[in-house]
Amino acid sequence: MNFASDNAAGIAPAILAALGQVNDGFALGYGNDAATRRVETMFCDLFECEVAVFMVTTGTAANSLALAHSAPPWGAVLCHSDAHIMTSECGAPEFFGGGLKLVGLPGDAGRITSSTLLAALEGPEWGGPHHVSPAVLSLTQATEAGTIYQVDDIARLAQAAHARGLKVQIDGARFANAVARLGVSPAQATWKAGVDVLAFGATKGGAMAAEAVIFFDPAQAAAMGDRRKRGGHLLSKHRFVAAQFEAFLADGLWLRLAKHANTMADRLAQGLTERGLRPVWPVEANLVFVALPAEVHKKLQAAGASYYAIQSRTVPSGALSRADDVLVRLVTSFCTQPHDIERFLAAAAG
Protein backbone atom coordinates (compact mmCIF):
# COMPACT_ATOMS: atom_id res chain seq x y z
CA MET A 1 0.00 0.00 0.00
CA ASN A 2 2.62 2.49 -1.02
CA PHE A 3 1.16 5.68 -2.46
CA ALA A 4 3.95 7.99 -1.32
CA SER A 5 5.39 8.76 -4.73
CA ASP A 6 6.01 7.24 -8.11
CA ASN A 7 9.68 7.51 -7.31
CA ALA A 8 9.20 5.14 -4.38
CA ALA A 9 8.59 2.45 -7.00
CA GLY A 10 11.48 0.46 -8.36
CA ILE A 11 12.47 -0.22 -11.95
CA ALA A 12 10.20 -1.90 -14.46
CA PRO A 13 11.50 -5.40 -15.27
CA ALA A 14 12.13 -4.70 -18.94
CA ILE A 15 14.23 -1.69 -18.08
CA LEU A 16 16.22 -3.55 -15.48
CA ALA A 17 16.84 -6.30 -18.02
CA ALA A 18 18.03 -3.75 -20.54
CA LEU A 19 20.78 -2.65 -18.16
CA GLY A 20 22.09 -6.19 -18.17
CA GLN A 21 21.86 -6.52 -21.93
CA VAL A 22 23.69 -3.31 -22.73
CA ASN A 23 26.43 -4.30 -20.29
CA ASP A 24 27.88 -6.69 -22.79
CA GLY A 25 31.33 -5.68 -24.04
CA PHE A 26 32.93 -2.29 -24.36
CA ALA A 27 31.39 0.96 -25.52
CA LEU A 28 32.89 4.40 -25.81
CA GLY A 29 31.88 6.77 -23.08
CA TYR A 30 30.03 10.06 -22.96
CA GLY A 31 27.31 9.12 -25.43
CA ASN A 32 29.55 7.93 -28.23
CA ASP A 33 27.91 4.53 -28.24
CA ALA A 34 25.41 2.62 -30.31
CA ALA A 35 22.64 2.55 -27.71
CA THR A 36 22.68 6.33 -27.52
CA ARG A 37 22.44 6.57 -31.28
CA ARG A 38 19.48 4.19 -31.29
CA VAL A 39 17.64 6.18 -28.66
CA GLU A 40 18.15 9.40 -30.56
CA THR A 41 16.57 7.78 -33.58
CA MET A 42 13.72 6.43 -31.49
CA PHE A 43 12.95 9.91 -30.20
CA CYS A 44 12.95 11.31 -33.73
CA ASP A 45 10.54 8.59 -34.75
CA LEU A 46 8.39 9.01 -31.68
CA PHE A 47 8.00 12.75 -32.25
CA GLU A 48 7.83 12.47 -36.04
CA CYS A 49 10.49 15.10 -36.54
CA GLU A 50 14.19 15.77 -36.16
CA VAL A 51 14.87 16.38 -32.47
CA ALA A 52 17.99 17.01 -30.43
CA VAL A 53 18.18 14.74 -27.38
CA PHE A 54 20.18 15.19 -24.18
CA MET A 55 19.85 12.45 -21.59
CA VAL A 56 20.49 13.03 -17.91
CA THR A 57 19.69 11.26 -14.66
CA THR A 58 17.38 13.66 -12.84
CA GLY A 59 14.33 15.72 -13.60
CA THR A 60 15.89 18.62 -11.74
CA ALA A 61 18.70 18.60 -14.26
CA ALA A 62 16.47 18.13 -17.29
CA ASN A 63 14.24 21.05 -16.40
CA SER A 64 16.99 23.34 -15.22
CA LEU A 65 19.21 22.74 -18.23
CA ALA A 66 16.27 23.22 -20.60
CA LEU A 67 15.24 26.46 -18.93
CA ALA A 68 18.76 27.83 -18.72
CA HIS A 69 19.23 27.12 -22.39
CA SER A 70 16.01 28.91 -23.29
CA ALA A 71 16.21 32.03 -21.14
CA PRO A 72 18.96 34.58 -20.58
CA PRO A 73 20.01 35.37 -17.00
CA TRP A 74 17.79 38.47 -17.15
CA GLY A 75 14.85 36.41 -18.33
CA ALA A 76 11.81 35.28 -16.43
CA VAL A 77 10.32 31.81 -16.51
CA LEU A 78 6.57 31.95 -16.02
CA CYS A 79 5.10 28.87 -14.43
CA HIS A 80 2.29 27.83 -12.14
CA SER A 81 2.91 29.01 -8.61
CA ASP A 82 2.72 25.38 -7.48
CA ALA A 83 5.07 24.09 -10.16
CA HIS A 84 7.78 21.75 -8.98
CA ILE A 85 10.48 23.97 -10.49
CA MET A 86 9.12 26.81 -8.35
CA THR A 87 8.63 25.06 -5.05
CA SER A 88 10.77 21.96 -4.83
CA GLU A 89 14.06 22.29 -6.69
CA CYS A 90 15.94 24.38 -4.13
CA GLY A 91 16.54 27.04 -6.74
CA ALA A 92 18.08 24.77 -9.38
CA PRO A 93 16.65 26.70 -12.35
CA GLU A 94 18.00 29.92 -10.86
CA PHE A 95 21.40 28.32 -10.40
CA PHE A 96 21.65 26.87 -13.89
CA GLY A 97 20.14 30.01 -15.40
CA GLY A 98 22.69 32.40 -13.93
CA GLY A 99 20.17 33.98 -11.59
CA LEU A 100 17.09 34.01 -13.79
CA LYS A 101 13.76 34.61 -12.10
CA LEU A 102 10.80 32.28 -11.74
CA VAL A 103 7.44 34.01 -11.71
CA GLY A 104 4.50 32.05 -10.38
CA LEU A 105 1.07 32.38 -11.94
CA PRO A 106 -2.15 31.33 -10.22
CA GLY A 107 -4.53 28.80 -11.67
CA ASP A 108 -7.12 26.26 -10.58
CA ALA A 109 -6.17 22.64 -10.37
CA GLY A 110 -2.52 23.28 -11.16
CA ARG A 111 -3.21 24.71 -14.59
CA ILE A 112 -2.47 28.13 -16.02
CA THR A 113 -5.08 29.52 -18.38
CA SER A 114 -4.19 31.54 -21.45
CA SER A 115 -6.12 34.51 -20.08
CA THR A 116 -4.03 34.43 -16.92
CA LEU A 117 -0.92 34.28 -19.02
CA LEU A 118 -2.02 37.13 -21.23
CA ALA A 119 -2.89 39.29 -18.23
CA ALA A 120 0.49 38.58 -16.70
CA LEU A 121 2.32 39.45 -19.89
CA GLU A 122 0.42 42.71 -20.24
CA GLY A 123 1.54 43.97 -16.85
CA PRO A 124 3.95 46.90 -16.51
CA GLU A 125 6.67 44.96 -14.78
CA TRP A 126 8.54 43.59 -17.75
CA GLY A 127 11.45 44.61 -19.89
CA GLY A 128 14.99 45.84 -19.59
CA PRO A 129 16.95 47.43 -18.33
CA HIS A 130 15.02 47.68 -15.05
CA HIS A 131 12.82 44.64 -15.26
CA VAL A 132 13.39 41.06 -16.20
CA SER A 133 11.97 40.03 -19.56
CA PRO A 134 9.57 37.12 -19.93
CA ALA A 135 11.50 34.40 -21.72
CA VAL A 136 9.91 31.02 -21.13
CA LEU A 137 6.50 29.65 -20.32
CA SER A 138 6.95 26.42 -18.39
CA LEU A 139 4.01 24.06 -18.23
CA THR A 140 3.88 20.98 -16.04
CA GLN A 141 2.26 18.11 -17.89
CA ALA A 142 0.72 16.33 -16.02
CA THR A 143 0.41 19.07 -13.40
CA GLU A 144 1.29 18.94 -9.73
CA ALA A 145 -2.45 18.65 -9.07
CA GLY A 146 -2.72 15.52 -11.18
CA THR A 147 -4.59 17.26 -13.95
CA ILE A 148 -3.53 17.64 -17.55
CA TYR A 149 -3.53 20.30 -20.21
CA GLN A 150 -5.58 19.46 -23.28
CA VAL A 151 -3.88 19.94 -26.63
CA ASP A 152 -6.01 23.01 -27.27
CA ASP A 153 -4.99 24.49 -23.92
CA ILE A 154 -1.35 24.10 -24.83
CA ALA A 155 -1.88 25.55 -28.29
CA ARG A 156 -3.59 28.63 -26.88
CA LEU A 157 -0.91 29.11 -24.24
CA ALA A 158 1.88 28.60 -26.74
CA GLN A 159 0.32 31.06 -29.15
CA ALA A 160 0.13 33.70 -26.43
CA ALA A 161 3.68 32.95 -25.37
CA HIS A 162 5.16 32.97 -28.85
CA ALA A 163 3.40 36.22 -29.68
CA ARG A 164 5.45 37.82 -26.92
CA GLY A 165 8.66 36.05 -27.86
CA LEU A 166 8.61 33.42 -25.12
CA LYS A 167 9.66 29.85 -25.61
CA VAL A 168 7.41 27.07 -24.33
CA GLN A 169 8.92 24.36 -22.18
CA ILE A 170 7.22 21.35 -20.66
CA ASP A 171 8.20 19.78 -17.38
CA GLY A 172 7.26 16.26 -18.37
CA ALA A 173 8.20 14.29 -15.29
CA ARG A 174 4.76 12.68 -15.82
CA PHE A 175 4.51 13.35 -19.54
CA ALA A 176 3.77 9.68 -20.16
CA ASN A 177 0.76 9.84 -17.89
CA ALA A 178 -0.51 12.91 -19.70
CA VAL A 179 -0.07 11.46 -23.18
CA ALA A 180 -1.65 8.20 -22.13
CA ARG A 181 -4.69 10.10 -20.96
CA LEU A 182 -4.85 12.53 -23.87
CA GLY A 183 -4.90 9.77 -26.43
CA VAL A 184 -3.03 11.86 -28.95
CA SER A 185 0.39 11.39 -30.48
CA PRO A 186 3.45 12.72 -28.68
CA ALA A 187 3.91 15.12 -31.60
CA GLN A 188 0.39 16.47 -31.20
CA ALA A 189 0.96 16.89 -27.48
CA THR A 190 4.12 18.91 -28.02
CA TRP A 191 5.60 20.67 -31.02
CA LYS A 192 2.44 20.52 -33.08
CA ALA A 193 0.80 22.48 -30.27
CA GLY A 194 3.74 24.89 -30.03
CA VAL A 195 6.05 23.33 -27.47
CA ASP A 196 9.72 24.19 -28.02
CA VAL A 197 11.47 22.00 -25.52
CA LEU A 198 10.40 19.09 -23.37
CA ALA A 199 11.85 17.48 -20.28
CA PHE A 200 10.76 13.93 -21.02
CA GLY A 201 10.68 11.93 -17.84
CA ALA A 202 11.20 8.20 -17.58
CA THR A 203 12.21 7.81 -13.94
CA LYS A 204 8.77 8.20 -12.40
CA GLY A 205 7.40 6.03 -15.18
CA GLY A 206 9.55 3.01 -14.41
CA ALA A 207 13.17 3.79 -15.23
CA MET A 208 16.00 3.94 -12.71
CA ALA A 209 17.32 7.42 -13.45
CA ALA A 210 16.59 8.62 -16.97
CA GLU A 211 15.30 11.94 -18.21
CA ALA A 212 15.77 13.54 -21.60
CA VAL A 213 15.73 17.11 -22.78
CA ILE A 214 14.14 17.14 -26.22
CA PHE A 215 14.56 20.19 -28.44
CA PHE A 216 12.05 20.19 -31.27
CA ASP A 217 14.21 22.64 -33.16
CA PRO A 218 17.73 21.19 -33.03
CA ALA A 219 19.18 24.63 -33.83
CA GLN A 220 18.04 25.78 -30.41
CA ALA A 221 20.18 23.06 -28.87
CA ALA A 222 23.51 24.48 -30.02
CA ALA A 223 26.11 24.21 -27.22
CA MET A 224 23.63 22.35 -25.01
CA GLY A 225 26.20 19.58 -24.80
CA ASP A 226 28.64 21.99 -23.21
CA ARG A 227 26.01 23.18 -20.77
CA ARG A 228 25.14 19.62 -19.78
CA LYS A 229 28.80 18.69 -19.30
CA ARG A 230 29.67 21.63 -17.09
CA GLY A 231 26.56 20.91 -15.06
CA GLY A 232 28.07 17.49 -14.35
CA HIS A 233 25.25 15.78 -16.22
CA LEU A 234 27.07 13.98 -19.00
CA LEU A 235 27.41 10.38 -17.87
CA SER A 236 30.63 8.60 -18.72
CA LYS A 237 29.01 5.17 -19.09
CA HIS A 238 26.24 6.80 -21.03
CA ARG A 239 24.97 3.61 -22.61
CA PHE A 240 23.28 2.75 -19.32
CA VAL A 241 21.04 5.80 -19.47
CA ALA A 242 20.37 5.17 -23.13
CA ALA A 243 19.47 1.57 -22.41
CA GLN A 244 16.80 2.66 -19.99
CA PHE A 245 15.21 4.82 -22.64
CA GLU A 246 15.56 2.15 -25.26
CA ALA A 247 13.53 -0.25 -23.18
CA PHE A 248 11.12 2.43 -22.03
CA LEU A 249 10.27 3.53 -25.55
CA ALA A 250 10.33 0.10 -27.21
CA ASP A 251 6.92 -1.17 -28.27
CA GLY A 252 5.12 1.59 -26.40
CA LEU A 253 6.12 0.30 -22.97
CA TRP A 254 6.21 3.85 -21.64
CA LEU A 255 2.54 4.37 -22.51
CA ARG A 256 1.45 0.98 -21.24
CA LEU A 257 3.12 1.61 -17.89
CA ALA A 258 1.57 5.07 -17.70
CA LYS A 259 -1.86 3.80 -18.62
CA HIS A 260 -1.64 1.24 -15.89
CA ALA A 261 -0.73 3.88 -13.33
CA ASN A 262 -3.56 6.11 -14.56
CA THR A 263 -6.03 3.26 -14.37
CA MET A 264 -4.98 2.51 -10.83
CA ALA A 265 -5.49 6.19 -9.95
CA ASP A 266 -8.94 6.12 -11.54
CA ARG A 267 -9.87 3.06 -9.60
CA LEU A 268 -8.65 4.60 -6.37
CA ALA A 269 -10.55 7.79 -7.09
CA GLN A 270 -13.69 5.90 -7.87
CA GLY A 271 -13.47 3.82 -4.72
CA LEU A 272 -12.90 6.90 -2.59
CA THR A 273 -15.77 8.74 -4.24
CA GLU A 274 -18.08 5.82 -3.60
CA ARG A 275 -17.11 6.10 0.04
CA GLY A 276 -17.95 9.81 0.05
CA LEU A 277 -14.37 10.94 -0.36
CA ARG A 278 -14.38 12.78 -3.65
CA PRO A 279 -10.94 13.88 -4.91
CA VAL A 280 -10.44 17.62 -4.69
CA TRP A 281 -9.14 17.88 -8.25
CA PRO A 282 -10.04 15.88 -11.37
CA VAL A 283 -7.98 12.70 -11.55
CA GLU A 284 -6.37 12.83 -14.96
CA ALA A 285 -2.98 11.26 -14.37
CA ASN A 286 -1.63 9.11 -11.54
CA LEU A 287 -2.24 11.46 -8.62
CA VAL A 288 -5.27 11.51 -6.34
CA PHE A 289 -5.72 14.35 -3.86
CA VAL A 290 -8.35 13.82 -1.25
CA ALA A 291 -9.38 15.30 2.08
CA LEU A 292 -9.45 12.51 4.61
CA PRO A 293 -11.32 12.80 7.86
CA ALA A 294 -8.80 12.54 10.67
CA GLU A 295 -10.10 9.18 11.81
CA VAL A 296 -9.80 7.71 8.32
CA HIS A 297 -6.27 9.04 8.10
CA LYS A 298 -5.51 7.41 11.41
CA LYS A 299 -6.91 4.06 10.32
CA LEU A 300 -4.90 4.10 7.13
CA GLN A 301 -1.73 4.94 8.96
CA ALA A 302 -2.38 2.13 11.36
CA ALA A 303 -2.87 -0.23 8.46
CA GLY A 304 0.53 0.71 7.12
CA ALA A 305 -0.50 2.81 4.15
CA SER A 306 2.28 5.07 2.98
CA TYR A 307 1.43 8.51 1.56
CA TYR A 308 2.06 12.15 2.28
CA ALA A 309 -0.23 14.62 3.99
CA ILE A 310 0.27 17.91 2.25
CA GLN A 311 -0.56 21.55 2.71
CA SER A 312 -1.93 23.42 -0.24
CA ARG A 313 -2.98 27.02 -0.56
CA THR A 314 -4.83 26.35 -3.77
CA VAL A 315 -7.33 23.70 -2.78
CA PRO A 316 -10.86 24.62 -3.90
CA SER A 317 -12.92 26.23 -1.21
CA GLY A 318 -15.13 23.68 0.43
CA ALA A 319 -12.76 20.81 -0.18
CA LEU A 320 -11.55 20.87 3.39
CA SER A 321 -14.95 21.39 4.94
CA ARG A 322 -14.37 19.35 8.06
CA ALA A 323 -12.07 21.09 10.49
CA ASP A 324 -9.88 18.08 11.12
CA ASP A 325 -9.63 16.89 7.54
CA VAL A 326 -6.18 15.94 6.33
CA LEU A 327 -5.38 16.66 2.72
CA VAL A 328 -3.36 13.80 1.29
CA ARG A 329 -1.69 12.99 -1.97
CA LEU A 330 -1.92 9.44 -3.25
CA VAL A 331 0.36 8.46 -6.09
CA THR A 332 0.02 5.32 -8.17
CA SER A 333 2.74 3.90 -10.37
CA PHE A 334 3.50 1.24 -12.92
CA CYS A 335 3.75 -1.27 -10.11
CA THR A 336 0.63 -0.43 -8.16
CA GLN A 337 -1.59 -3.46 -8.04
CA PRO A 338 -5.41 -3.68 -7.86
CA HIS A 339 -5.17 -5.40 -4.51
CA ASP A 340 -3.19 -2.44 -3.17
CA ILE A 341 -6.16 -0.26 -4.05
CA GLU A 342 -8.59 -2.68 -2.48
CA ARG A 343 -6.61 -2.95 0.70
CA PHE A 344 -6.35 0.80 0.90
CA LEU A 345 -10.06 1.31 0.41
CA ALA A 346 -10.84 -1.39 2.91
CA ALA A 347 -8.50 0.15 5.45
CA ALA A 348 -10.10 3.54 4.88
CA ALA A 349 -13.51 2.04 5.47
CA GLY A 350 -12.15 0.60 8.66
Min dist. Cβ of residue 40 to a second copy (A):
15
Alpha-carbon dihedral sign for residues 36, 42, 45, 49: negative
How far CA 34 is from CA of 28, 73, 172, 242, in Å, comes to: 9, 36, 26, 9
Min dist. Cβ of residue 183 to a second copy (A):
27
Q: Which is nearer to a second copy, 132 or 253 (CB)?
A: 132
Min dist. Cβ of residue 152 to a second copy (A):
30
Query: Edge-to-edge strands of the sheet including 197-201?
Result: 52-56, 211-215, 197-201, 167-172, 133-140, 75-80, 101-105
Min dist. Cβ of residue 207 to a second copy (A):
8
Min dist. Cβ of residue 146 to a second copy (A):
18
Q: Which is nearer to a second copy, 196 or 340 (CB)?
A: 340
- How far apart CA 232 and CA 265 sit, in angstroms, is 36
Q: Which is nearer to a second copy, 191 or 200 (CB)?
A: 200
SS3 291: strand
Q: Which is nearer to a second copy, 151 or 292 (CB)?
A: 292
Q: Which is nearer to a second copy, 311 or 317 (CB)?
A: 311
How far CA 18 is from CA of 7, 135, 151, 211, 240, in Å, comes to: 19, 39, 33, 16, 8
